[in-house]
Structure formats: structure tokens, C-alpha cells
């Protein structure tokens, strides 16, 4: 049921409904049927889709070579507080028309930053109150909140990792405020993405000092939030580079190592973005697997990169094969902890119709939903799991188990090798498995 404010922004677009795969209606779901049961849960429970406030309502099409192309009608009011309310009206209308329940935000997505810290705090209070009112009686929730610690020039040398202590203090203040807003809006989780937490050049950087500061900063933030009663997860979102030459949260393995070293694993989980994974030289499913194996898979930023560009293109996910392989990892590892599937994705700079924001989300939602359905088919209706289990069956033998327990030493193994003689080859069967997946698409 569309939640329309004082003005309808997406006129002519009705609630998006499931119409099935034969439908030719571009404004309908072909695969996403929220209440359909798949692998023991509702589709909407597997896939807690969230809309990204910054892209969908804030991205005006600026790129390094051009100015804004999108004149959103909710961005016109002269008064910044009213402008923020208009934007929130548009957001609630959009999310409800899509039939979704979640959004994610940075502090200054909700409302533009003021000229002073005081002014910003005043603005944040205003929009928080408005948000509290808007949410009443609606199913709309916040998947996670965060603070933008990368856009303002004060953060040009980093936020928590700035060489200037006073910038670190400023960033701390901003995080305190963002946590307060997240709690006030009953946000379920809180995210850290360290866009400027890294370096441009090692020549002017003391890396160890900066990373120690980052850990202290996260401890401070976590302690404060817990003291205010926040029960949700904290997420770190890895990215290898951009805008920094090197970001400290390079990839999932790096972040897990960091969280372990600084004793942050009780409270923090990983938020994995597809495009960040691929920029780090990994597949999306690899990053998911690394996080899941550490029991640290917290949330997903769903999008798609261009494998031939070296930057974050944040396109909506449309690559069915890629998302199937990802869902296979997620489903086999018991899902994600606390988070959801946030569309950290934007329409192209030249997709300037408001309807394009709908098309893009519909495409992304259907891609994930379809991938979930395919995953169910692969797991329950093919030989897929048998093939992989059989592949590792030698570790179910007595000696294989003994190795895993650590009761065979190098000399024992040396003797086993001698006893065995040369071994027979065992095909990895990758082509067969790929065909099985494709046949289920």
C-alpha cells in the first residue's frame, strides 16, 4: 500500500505486484513473490531487501566528468529541513510502492549537513522526529544507519585514521550523532565503511598508528552504542580502494584479521558488497564464503560492477549466474546474521526518468529472487551436493579423520604415502557442475 505524503512523487506508477514470469509488464515482478515458501522460509525472509537512500533519492548523476543530470522533484524546496522531509516522503512512497520494508542511510542522506556541528545536530533532530512520525503504523524499517565520514573536506586525509587528532574527534562526534539517530529510528544494525580510512601514499603515512586509531575509534563507537541500549550488529564493509589508493578494510579476510587482532569480533560482522568484492580481485561468492566460514556474514550490499572498469560502478544486480553462485553460499551457510540485501546501486547517469529507479530495483529484486529459486532447484533436485560430498569422502575414513584431529605426525603420513604408492587421479568435475547450474537457470 503506497505511503504517499503531501504530494505524490512517482505519479502514474502503482504498487509493484508479482505477476509471474510470463508477464510483459515492465512494472511488475516476474519472480519476487514475498510470501512464497522456498527452502523452508518465506522469500522475503531469505531476502530482506533494502533501498539505499543515497543512491535512490540522493544521486543526481554527477560523475568525475560531468554535473548533475537528475533534477529530483523532492530536492526543490528552499528550506533544507523541508527539503529533507520531502525527500523522506518520496522515500516512503517509493519503498512502499515496491512492497519492500527496509531502507539504509547515512546521516547526511537524511538531511544535508549544516555549517557547524551544532547546526547539523539540530537538523538531524528535526528529520529524526519526522522519521519517527512517518514510520508509525507502517511496516517500514531501517536495516542500518551509518555516518558519512568521507565527503566533507575535513576528512580528505581520513576520519578515524586522520593524522590530525582533532579530525578524529570530529568524526567521533559525527558517529555519536549517527548512532543516536539510528537508535531513535529503531535501526537494526549500524555500518562502518571507511572510504577515507586508508592512504594515498605510504610516503606520508604511518600505517600502524592509523590502524591502531581505527580500532580505538570502533571500540569507542561500540561502547557508546551499547551504553545507549543498541542491540544490533555493527558491520564493517570492506573495499580495497577508491577513493583511497588503499583502504584498510581491503577485503573480508583482512577485516576479519583486524577484528580478531583488536578483539572486536563479538559485536562486528561483515557487510559484503558485490562490486567491492570484485574490485579486490575476488568473486562475490568468495567473500561470502570467507565471512560465512568465520561465522561473520552479516549483510549484503547488492549491486554489480563492470569487470572491465577499475572503479565502483554500483550497477543494479542483473547477472543471474553470479547471484546464483552467491545464493548457493548463503543458503548452504545458514543465511546472513542480522542484515539483509541492500541495493547499494544506482541508475545510470543518463537514466533520468523517475520510472528508471523502479525498473532498476525490479530488475535487482527479480534477479535475487530468481537466484534463490534456482538455488533451491540445484540443492534439492540435482546431484550437486552428492558430487561435492563424495569429493571429500576420504576424510571420513579412519586415517582421514585422524589427520584432521592432528593425531598423525609427519612421519606417520610419510609412511602412509609409502604404503599407498602413486595415486589415481580424480577429476574435479567443474564442467559438469557448471552445466548443472545452467540447466537450473
Query: Hey, which residues are catalytic here?
Result: 106, 109
The stretch near its own copies (CB under 8 A) out of 42-50, 84-92, 126-134, 166-174 is: 166-174
The sign of the CA dihedral 425, 431, 432, 434 is positive
Q: Among 118, 136, 137, 266, which residue sits at the site for its own copies (rule: CB under 8 A)?
A: 118
- CB 93 → its own copies: shortest distance, Å? 19
Q: Among 76, 82, 132, 352, which residue sits at the site for its own copies (rule: CB under 8 A)?
A: 352
Closest CA to 306 of 345, 327, 279, 288: 279
With CB under 8 A, what is the number of residues at the site for its own copies? 154
**317 burial level (CB within 10 Å; 0-12, 13-18, 19+):** buried
Q: Is position 387 an interface residue for its own copies (rule: CB under 8 A)? A: yes
138-175 burial: b if 16+ Cβ within 10 Å, else e: eebbbbbbbbbbbebeebebbbbbbeeeebbebbbebb
**241 burial level (CB within 10 Å; 0-12, 13-18, 19+):** middle
Q: What does the block give as the cell for 141? A: 524499517
Q: Which of residues 44-83 bind its own copies (CB under 8 A)?
A: 61-69
From residue 182 to residue 221, the character string flagging contacts with its own copies as x (rule: CB under 8 A) and all else as - is: -------------xx---xxxxxxxxxx-xxx--x--xxx
Residue 412 annotated in ligand binding: no
Q: Which is nearer to its own copies, 339 or 364 (CB)?
A: 364
Q: Is position 119 an interface residue for its own copies (rule: CB under 8 A)? A: no
Q: CA torsion angle for 221, 285, 35, 24 (degrees, to 10)?
A: 120
- CB 80 → its own copies: shortest distance, Å? 16
Residue 356 annotated in ligand binding: no
- CB 269 → its own copies: shortest distance, Å? 16
The stretch near its own copies (CB under 8 A) out of 86-94, 126-134, 262-270, 389-397 is: 389-397
Give the three-class secondary structure for 318. Answer: coil
Q: Is position 379 an interface residue for its own copies (rule: CB under 8 A)? A: no
**Cis amide linkage into residue 68, ω under 30° from 0:** no
- CB 380 → its own copies: shortest distance, Å? 13
Query: Distance (Å, rounded) from C-alpha 406 to C-alpha 392?
Result: 18
Q: Is position 106 an interface residue for its own copies (rule: CB under 8 A)? A: no
Closest CA to 343 of 26, 41, 47, 35: 47
- CB 132 → its own copies: shortest distance, Å? 22
Amino acid at each position: 500500500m503506497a505511503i504517499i505524503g503531501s504530494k505524490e512523487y512517482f505519479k502514474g506508477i502503482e504498487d509493484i505486484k508479482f505477476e509471474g514470469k510470463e508477464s510483459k509488464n515492465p512494472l511488475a515482478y516476474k519472480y519476487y513473490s514475498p510470501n512464497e515458501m522456498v527452502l523452508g522460509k518465506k522469500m522475503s525472509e531469505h531476502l530482506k531487501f533494502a533501498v539505499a537512500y543515497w543512491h535512490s533519492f540522493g544521486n543526481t548523476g554527477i560523475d568525475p566528468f560531468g554535473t548533475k543530470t537528475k533534477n529530483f522533484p523532492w530536492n526543490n524546496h528552499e528550506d533544507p529541513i523541508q527539503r529533507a522531509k520531502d525527500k523522506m516522503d518520496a522515500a516512503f512512497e517509493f519503498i512502499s510502492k515496491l512492497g519492500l520494508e527496509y531502507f539504509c542511510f547515512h546521516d547526511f542522506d537524511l538531511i544535508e549537513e549544516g555549517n557547524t556541528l551544532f547546526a547539523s545536530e539540530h537538523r538531524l533532530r528535526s528529520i529524526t522526529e519526522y522519521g519517527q512520525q512517518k514510520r508509525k503504523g507502517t511496516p517500514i524499517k531501517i536495516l542500518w544507519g551509518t555516518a558519512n565520514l568521507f565527503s566533507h573536506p575535513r576528512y580528505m586525509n581520513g576520519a578515524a585514521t586522520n593524522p590530525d587528532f582533532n579530525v578524529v574527534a570530529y568524526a567521533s562526534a559525527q558517529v555519536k550523532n549517527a548512532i543516536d539517530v539510528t537508535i531513535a529510528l529503531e535501526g537494526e544494525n549500524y555500518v562502518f565503511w571507511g572510504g577515507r580510512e586508508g592512504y594515498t601514499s605510504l610516503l606520508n603515512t604511518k600505517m600502524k598508528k592509523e590502524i591502531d586509531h581505527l580500532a580505538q575509534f570502533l571500540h569507542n563507537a561500540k561502547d557508546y552504542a551499547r551504553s545507549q541500549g543498541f542491540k544490533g550488529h555493527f558491520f564493517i564493509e570492506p573495499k580495497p580502494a577508491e577513493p583511497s589508493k588503499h583502504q584498510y578494510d581491503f577485503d573480508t579476510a583482512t577485516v576479519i584479521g583486524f577484528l580478531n587482532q583488536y578483539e572486536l569480533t563479538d559485536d562486528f560482522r561483515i557487510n559484503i558488497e558485490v562490486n567491492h568484492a570484485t574490485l579486490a580481485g575476488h568473486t562475490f561468492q568468495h567473500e561470502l564464503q570467507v565471512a560465512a566460514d568465520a561465522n561473520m556474514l552479516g549483510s549484503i550490499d547488492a549491486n554489480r560492477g563492470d569487470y572491465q572498469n577499475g572503479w565502483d560502478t554500483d550497477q543494479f544486480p542483473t547477472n543471474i549466474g553470479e547471484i546464483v553462485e552467491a545464493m548457493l553460499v548463503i543458503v548452504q551457510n545458514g543465511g546472513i546474521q542480522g542484515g539483509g540485501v541492500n541495493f547499494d546501486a544506482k541508475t545510470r547517469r543518463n537514466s533520468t526518468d523517475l520510472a528508471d529507479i523502479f525498473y532498476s530495483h525490479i530488475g535487482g529484486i527479480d534477479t535475487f529472487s530468481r537466484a534463490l529459486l534456482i538455488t533451491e532447484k540445484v540443492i534439492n533436485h540435482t546431484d550437486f551436493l552428492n558430487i561435492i560430498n563424495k569429493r571429500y569422502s576420504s576424510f571420513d575414513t579412519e586415517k582421514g579423520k585422524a589427520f584432521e584431529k592432528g593425531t598423525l605426525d609427519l612421519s606417520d603420513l610419510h609412511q602412509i604415502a609409502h604404503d599407498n604408492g602413486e595415486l589415481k587421479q580424480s577429476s574435479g568435475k567443474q564442467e559438469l557442475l557448471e552445466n548443472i547450474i545452467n540447466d537450473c537457470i
